[in-house]
């Protein structure tokens, strides 16, 4: 029997369900690597691979880095390292982009991009929750703060796509109000963000920021809030993030970003949140109280 094509709304859910079945950590990667090598004219070094659920990165024999990633084809416009290189100044500390190729596979779009090789390791290799203080020096925090400050000055109409989905007012509202239905969630300030800003995408001892395919406009403080919520298992580290990014995180929009980050983990459940579960619950309660002190938005503040 011929299957009828889904409606637009159902199609979006159907396509996302397809991409959610992709897990490069458990699937064979040999054909994918061979295709990237042919298209880019490089030899990849699989023994140095960094594999995540929907991306695979590895060094090349010519001293560069290739990252292969997958996303729903209909969500893939303007996603990738080329767009980041074109939009961002070098002071933002992103790897320089060299070349790339993309191809369709059914409802999926694959990208293979060759960039500058960053030799410093990421702070949290392998993903998961950061459980120990990385003891980062002040110069590192200055580098990070300067990079994000510079990022916020870049002008773009591109919308950030954390977890491959555009960040919108509706998305913020539905996530927060699923847990805290009485919180006023109107976003007052939008600025450019990396939008996948966690310890797995930042290096040390030199601060470099990796994996820019999701960057775009997001609520002010989005990146700082993401880094903060991923630091809550190490209280001293979370406090340091709060100090460094006090202006953004202390704004009403920054408080909403933090509450959104908490709400995402609370909705996902304790099994997913792991050691972050308890500190996220406590932090969320404080954030709701802090937002109530800010009072309701004025009419001028609404969009």
What pLDDT is recorded for position 17? 56
pLDDT in tens, the chain (303 residues): 333 434 445 544 544 555 567 889 888 899 999 999 999 999 999 988 888 888 899 999 999 999 998 887 765 555 556 676 777 887 888 888 899 999 988 878 899 999 999 999 999 987 778 999 999 999 999 999 999 999 988 888 889 988 878 999 999 999 999 999 999 999 999 999 999 999 999 999 999 999 888 899 999 999 999 999 999 999 999 999 999 999 999 999 999 999 999 999 998 887 777 889 899 999 999 999 999 887 655 433 333
Topology (CATH level 3) of domain 138-301: Aminoglycoside 3'-phosphotransferase; Chain: A, domain 2 (3.90.1200)
Label each residue of the chain as H, E or C: CCCCCCCHHHHHHHHHHHHHCCCCCCCCCHHHHHHHHHHHCCCECHHHCEECCCEEEEEECCCEEEEEEEEEHHHCCCCCHHHHHHHCCHHHCCCCEEEEEEEEECCEEEEEEEEECCCCCECCCCCCCCCCCCCCCHHHHHHHHHHHHHHCCCCCCCECCHHHCCCCHHHHHHHHHCCCCCCCCCCCCEEEECCCCCHHHEECCCCCECCCCCCEEEECCHHHHHHHHCCCCCHHHHHHHHHHCHHHHHCHHHHHHHHHHHHHHHHHCHHHHHHHHHHHHHHHHHHHHHHHHHCCCCHHHCC
Domain ranges of the chain: 8-116, 138-301
pLDDT tens by residue, 10-68:
544 544 555 567 889 888 899 999 999 999 999 999 988 888 888 899 999 999 999 99
Which pLDDT tens digit goes with each residue over 155-171? 888 899 888 789 999 99
CATH code for the domain defined by 8-116: 3.30.200
Has this prediction a pTM greater than 0.95?
Answer: no
């Amino acid at each position: 029997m011929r299957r009828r094509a889904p409606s637009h709304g159902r199609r979006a859910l159907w396509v996302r369900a397809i991409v959610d079945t992709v897990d490069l950590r458990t699937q064979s990667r040999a054909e994918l690597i061979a295709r990237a090598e042919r298209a880019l004219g490089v030899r990849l070094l699989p023994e140095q691979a960094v594999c995540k659920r929907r991306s695979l990165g590895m060094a090349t024999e010519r001293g560069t880095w290739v990252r292969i990633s997958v996303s729903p084809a209909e969500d893939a416009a303007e996603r990738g390292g080329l767009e980041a290189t074109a939009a961002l100044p070098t002071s933002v500390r992103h790897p320089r982009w060299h070349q790339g190729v993309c191809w369709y596979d059914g409802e999926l779009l694959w990208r293979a991009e060759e960039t500058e090789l960053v030799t410093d390791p990421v702070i949290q290799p392998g993903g998961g929750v950061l459980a120990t203080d990385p003891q980062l020096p002040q110069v590192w925090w200055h580098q990070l703060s300067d990079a994000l400050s510079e990022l916020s000055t870049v002008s773009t109409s591109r919308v950030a796509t954390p977890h491959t989905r555009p960040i919108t007012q509706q998305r913020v509202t539905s996530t927060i109000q699923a847990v805290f239905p009485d919180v006023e969630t109107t976003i007052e300030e939008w600025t450019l963000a990396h939008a996948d800003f966690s310890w797995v995408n930042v290096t040390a001892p030199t601060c470099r920021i990796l994996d820019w395919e999701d960057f775009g406009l997001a609520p002010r403080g989005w990146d700082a809030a993401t880094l903060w919520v991923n630091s809550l298992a190490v209280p001293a580290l979370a406090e340091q993030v709060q100090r460094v990014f006090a202006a953004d995180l202390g704004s009403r929009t920054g408080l909403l970003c933090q509450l959104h980050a908490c709400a995402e983990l609370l909705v996902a459940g304790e099994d997913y949140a792991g050691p972050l579960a308890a500190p996220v619950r406590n932090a969320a309660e404080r954030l709701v109280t802090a937002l109530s002190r800010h009072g309701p938005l004025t009419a001028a503040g609404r969009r």
